[in-house]
Amino acid sequence: MKLRKIYLMSGILLTFICSIISSSVMAEDNAETPINISMSSNSPKYSKEFISHLVKCQKYKEESSFDFFGNVITLVVIVDGWKNGKCGYINYAKEIPESKTICNFTKAQLNEILAASKKNQNIQETYNDGVMTYKADPLSVLFTKYMNDGKTCVIPK
């Protein structure tokens, strides 16, 4: 039961992350896709400063708060610097202790993040992880891919 709660909270946090990274409203796909996530354009976004620190892997912390169905959620994202040849990244919602996700990005992945951040954020791309279909801007789709691969990002126990 506790594992199910952690997965649920992780899913909610992943949804928050997608909304933060997104720089445009995510459009719903047609009815033939299994599930689509749609976020409002008034959700907080990663700042350009955060993305700059992330792709350079320079230590940095950013907090943003937003309303989620009447509850204020404070999302914390941290670039933790280089460790064992990978760039440490941590995110969590202050109000949901089980929501912490830790990612370790390779230099190649950081280059992918940089490239995705330079793409037209109004263009919708699709990512299907086998369970859900995500349709969003290129940076959100890339982060969704990393959050779901199990090797780059993990939820600590």
- pLDDT tens-digit profile of 60-86? 999 988 888 888 999 999 999 999 999
What does the block give as tokens for 14?
A: 């992943």
- Give the pTM: 0.68
Helix (H) or strand (E) holding 108: helix 107-118
Number of structural domains the chain divides into: 1
Q: Per residue in 116-154, pLDDT tens?
A: 888 887 778 887 777 777 777 888 888 888 888 889 999
Contact 123, 137 (CB under 8 A): yes
Can you give the residue range of the structural domain that contains 146? Answer: 2-154
What does the block give as tokens for 155?
A: 């939820």
**Alpha-carbon distances, residue 152 vs 89, 90, 108, 119, 127 (angstroms):** 10, 12, 12, 22, 16
What does the block give as tokens for 32?
A: 């033939």
**Alpha-carbon distances, residue 54 vs 33, 34, 36, 59, 88 (angstroms):** 32, 32, 27, 8, 9
Q: Per residue in 6-39, pLDDT tens?
A: 443 444 454 445 444 433 223 333 333 333 333 3
